[in-house]
Structure 1
């Protein structure tokens, strides 16, 4: 198992486990960003920005023990 820290911001707050802004989640070895979204019940429709350890991440990206993932809504405007 790997332990990762997850932060769900703004419109994704409704998917927070136990209502906490930041939480640690354990997933199986080999888990990806998509695995995490499925675990949390977050739709993976492209309407979000996923940041892994300070860099934009793809759905296929592998997760490692100690990673920090932030899930944010895509913002528009100018």
Structure 2
């Protein structure tokens, strides 16, 4: 609990000094939901498109140079259904 209290104090201090603005985010627009909740396909694909997630296991490895870099596309409906069933 100590780390939460410290984080709260830091945020409160920065808000009071005008260095940080806090805004309400609707539950419909919570980007973390795509990683934590089973969602209907349209909502999953919408949120997936808003975060920068790459396909494949490239997080810890350098991207292969012989493949062109492309924009990340959201998974297909069948991939979403497989993800939600796992």
User: TM-score when scaled to structure 1?
Assistant: 0.26
> Which has the larger strand fraction?
1
User: TM-score when scaled to structure 2?
Assistant: 0.25
Q: Using CA pairs below 8 Å that are at least 6 residues apart, which structure has the higher relative contact order?
A: 1
> Which has the larger helix fraction?
2
